[in-house]
A = this chain, B = another copy of it.
Amino acid sequence: MRLTILFGGASFEHEISIVSAITIKDKLSDFDLSFIFCDENHIFYLIDPLKMKATTFSKGEYKKMPQLTITNRKFLQKGMFSSTEHKGTVLNLIHGADGEDGSIAALFDFFHIDYIGPRVDASVFSYDKRYTKYLCEAKNIKRVDYEILNSSEHKEINIAYPIIVKPSRLGSSIGVSIVKDESELDYALDSAFEYDNSIIVEPFINGVKEYNLAGYFADGKIHFSTVEEPHKNEFLDFEKKYMDFSRSEQVLKADISSELEAKLKQTFEKVYLNLFEGALIRCDFFVIDDEVFLNEINPIPGSMANYLFDNFSEAIYSICRSFPRTKDIKVSYNYIHSISSAKGK
């Protein structure tokens, strides 16, 4: 089966998307793979699979490769006298802006290109941490307390220290600070407002238990990955996350009770169903007093969380078999016709 990996993007996670794409290449060797790179100017390039290494991008060598234009049902590569069409399913592997904010999803929906990845609404609810909170409230999923600050207004924070300050709309810990007391607050707010005009503040819960669970919908049900207990740091900074995106070794199952595992899966299902179909997502949970709290949704996890699945290729195949179908809209001119004929035109 043909599969195109789309990566890069005008995103702070541009580099880790490259690392993700390189990592995943070996994991999907059953597929007839091609690679499309989106540069920071939103120009698409067809990348020779043999050139899929980090320096192709950091040294700008990709600029010598063929440019592609997105159009109805395909990418087009224009030659001197004719054009080559690139069709088939795309795996959206652009992390952060473009890939996870709904842009690529809308582009592919608009141009009728099949893709693995979150749809527009799913992107909005996972990319913006405020909207993830809204989702939790609507679906009765536990979440940590929060407050929203906007750069245009001055507001007191009512959450007790230590707190964690995050830009509402970025992933990969960029602009995130842990604030131990008020003396550190201004600097943390300034850092976060560098990246977004909206900030989310939460209590920082030291030593909280964390578990990650990935999954996807296919063939009528959700398929879950292994539950992972991620390595503990105060929190993963960008550099550590960067390394994390190149993971390809299978992880060991977290040592948890079957009750807790069931609760994690149940919460995952509440998050996923009727929203994330078409995507393989990873949910990051906190567990406090045996209760499961949703911390974050990664709708395009680093290297697609391949290391959490026994058979990653099969996971990707089966998502392609189960894409959500939208109802076809046929345009008619019944009203205009009836009005025109009433007017005798």
Contacts and interface: CB of A to CB of B under 8 A. Distances in A.
Interface of A: 10-12, 14-16, 18, 39-43, 54-55, 57-58, 69, 71-72, 97-98, 101-107, 109-112, 120-121, 123-125, 128, 130-131, 133-135, 137-138, 150, 194-198, 238-239, 242, 274, 327, 329-337, 339-340, 345
A125 B69 CA distance: 30
A197 B121 CA distance: 15
Nearest to A340: B55
A101 B72 contact: no
Contacts of A16: 335
Contacts of A123: 120
Nearest to A273: B150
Contacts of A133: 138
A101 B329 CA distance: 14
A119 to B, nearest CB: 10
B138 A134 contact: yes
A320 to B, nearest CB: 20
Contact of A15 (B40, B327, B333): B333
A335 B107 contact: no
Contacts of A112: 42
B121 A106 contact: no
A142 B316 CA distance: 43
A194 B329 CA distance: 11
Contacts of A101: 120
Nearest to A60: B333
A211 to B, nearest CB: 26
A6 to B, nearest CB: 13
A329 B12 contact: yes
A333 B57 contact: yes
A242 B336 CA distance: 10
Contact of A103 (B39, B110, B196, B239): B110
A222 to B, nearest CB: 13
Contacts of A72: 41-43
Contact of A40 (B39, B42, B124, B329): B329
Contacts of A274: 150, 198
A3 B245 CA distance: 44
- The 10 A-B residue pairs with the shortest CB-CB distance in the complex, in nearest-first order: A106-B106, A58-B333, A40-B331, A58-B336, A134-B138, A14-B331, A124-B124, A54-B336, A103-B106, A102-B120
Contacts of A110: 42, 98, 103-104, 106-107
A62 to B, nearest CB: 11
Contact of A134 (B10, B105, B137, B337): B137
Given A104-B110, A107-B110, A134-B134, 16 more contacts: A11-B331, A12-B329, A15-B332, A15-B334, A18-B336, A40-B329, A40-B331, A69-B71, A103-B106, A107-B107, A120-B120, A150-B274, A195-B327, A238-B335, A239-B335, A242-B335
